[in-house]
Amino acid sequence: SNSTQAEILINAGGKRYRDTAGRKWKKDTKFIGGSPVVVKRLSVPNSAMPKIYTSARVGKSQYAFTLPNGAYIVVLRFAEIDT
């Protein structure tokens, strides 16, 4: 198999971030539309990286990435934040 493993980590609505596993999240980028929202405090029970849930992109928006043809696993993380 000629597969490679790579991650694209985007902190929606937020700044660059390094999580507890040492992974580097990029600042909010590659988006079209919407507005960034950041909250100062948020309690996210059972999360190893609660800071990632303190920002979001709200409104009608989308992200666009140029990738080669292939199969991908997409993981989206959500939290309802009150602004």
User: What's the mean pLDDT in 30-37?
Assistant: 92
Say if residue 46's pLDDT is above 90: no
Listed residue (54, 49, 47) closest to 20, CA to CA: 49
User: What's the mean pLDDT in 1-6?
Assistant: 64
User: What's the mean pLDDT in 44-60?
Assistant: 82
Query: What pLDDT does 28 receive?
Result: 93
* Number of other CB atoms surrounding residue 82 within 10 Å: 6
Amino acid in the structure at residue 71: A
Q: What is the rounded CA–CA span in Å between residue 54 and residue 56?
A: 7
Query: What pLDDT does 40 receive?
Result: 77
Query: What pLDDT does 3 receive?
Result: 61
Q: What is the rounded CA–CA span in Å between residue 33 and residue 48?
A: 29
Q: What is the rounded CA–CA span in Å between residue 38 and residue 14?
A: 7
